[in-house]
Amino acid sequence: MMFATNNYVPNQGGTNDIRLRKVERGFLSFKQDICTRLDGLEDVLRSRLPVMAHQTAQILSSRTPAESQSHVPASAAIPNLPVSCISGHVTLPAAAIDSKDVATVKLGDEEFVFDRTTVADPPAKHFSDDIDGLFEQWNNSNLLVVNGRGIPIKYWPQFYQAKKGFKSGAWKAIRVEWGNWKVSPSESPVIPAGFHVLVLQFIVEEREKHASNKLFWAKFSDTESGVQFGFQQILTSLKHERMEHDAQAAADALQFFNRNLGCADANGAFSYTSRTGGTVVMSKTGDIARNWRNLLAQDPSIAAQWYAR
């Protein structure tokens, strides 16, 4: 006896429904994640568009018509670029910072707002073996980032000087080195071994007298071997050069006033009041030279008489 049989097919409808619901949930989760990311990107762009617009306006306004057409800088000196935004960092407006922590400093023509509690320690970077790097980062650097913006080395005192009060003790640790980067040799303190920020301004000011790094190194290299001078060798050379210039300027002042710097014609330019209240005529070469230069710059009558000789 034979029985008719049909192939048995299990009911898979329930399983398929479960799988479909899992796919739908996964898709909805993916969609929500994408929307969240896009919203975040939109917020970042909204916060940075005013900054980008400000930077673009600064660059365009600083160009001459000829530069705008040629896109070639007018000078090969160290470029003075606007403070740059850093990729991945958001620049917060003042309204987004706790009012008790809002601080403002002057960066060129810009009033820069930031959270005083977020200023990092001074970057652990020394330029005694990277002078070209110093020139590159003096006006445009990302070594120090504050409120999403790269802070040029020349503005570091705005964040670290003791009088600013943003980072206690920081300026004491770097002020000598920073000044050597910038200050004039005759005004620079004796440089302790291992300190380099007060000598770099010093070196940068010398670099800015030259049209390019190449011309700077042409002056500060061995004439026979072509080997570039080291950091301390450059400082020593600059200090000797300034001492020679100061000696000549002081001699010029003495010559102009017939060796009487306290005379009425000098109008007190070379005198100061002592602690006891008496009037003292300057005797140090550096002081006389500095005040003579200031006098020539500020008194057209004396300048005209001197240059007419």
Model pLDDT, residue 260: 96
Choose one of 161, 194, 229: the last residue of a domain.
Answer: 229
Number of structural domains (the chain) is: 2
Residues 216 and 273 both lie in one domain: no
Residue 199 amino acid letter:
V
Residues 133 and 216 both lie in one domain: yes
Residues 145 and 261 both lie in one domain: no
**Residue 286 forms part of a structural domain:** yes
Residues 90 and 221 both lie in one domain: yes
**Residue 9 forms part of a structural domain:** no
Asked whether 153 and 143 are in contact (CB, 8 A), the reply is yes
Residues 161 and 222 both lie in one domain: yes
Return phi, psi of residue 59, to 5°.
Answer: -65, -45
Residues 141 and 220 both lie in one domain: yes
Q: Which of 139, 136, 118 is nearest to 127 (CA)?
A: 136
Residues 88 and 172 both lie in one domain: yes
Residues 89 and 210 both lie in one domain: yes
Could you list the residue range(s) of the whole structural domain that residue 140 is in?
84-229
Q: How confident is the model at residue 68 (pLDDT cuts 50, 70, 90)?
A: very low
Residue 273 amino acid letter:
T
Residue by residue, DSSP assigns 89-133 as -----GGGS-GGGEEEEEETTEEEEEEGGGPPPPP----TT-HHH
Residue 277 DSSP label: S
**Residue 287 forms part of a structural domain:** yes
**Residue 238 forms part of a structural domain:** no
Q: How far apart are CA 131 and CA 78, in angstroms?
A: 13
Residues 214 and 141 both lie in one domain: yes
> pLDDT, tens digit, for every residue of 204-263?
889 999 999 999 999 999 999 999 999 889 988 988 998 999 999 999 999 999 999 999
Q: Is the dihedral of CA 152, 158, 160, 165 positive or negative?
A: negative
Choose one of 196, 229, 262: the last residue of a domain.
Answer: 229
**Residue 26 forms part of a structural domain:** no
> pLDDT, tens digit, for every residue of 101-159?
999 999 989 999 999 999 988 888 878 788 999 899 998 999 999 999 999 988 988 88
State the pTM of this model: 0.59
Residues 210 and 277 both lie in one domain: no
Tell me how many helices (H) and strands (E) the chain has. Answer: 10, 8
Residues 181 and 106 both lie in one domain: yes
SS3 149: strand
Residues 194 and 276 both lie in one domain: no
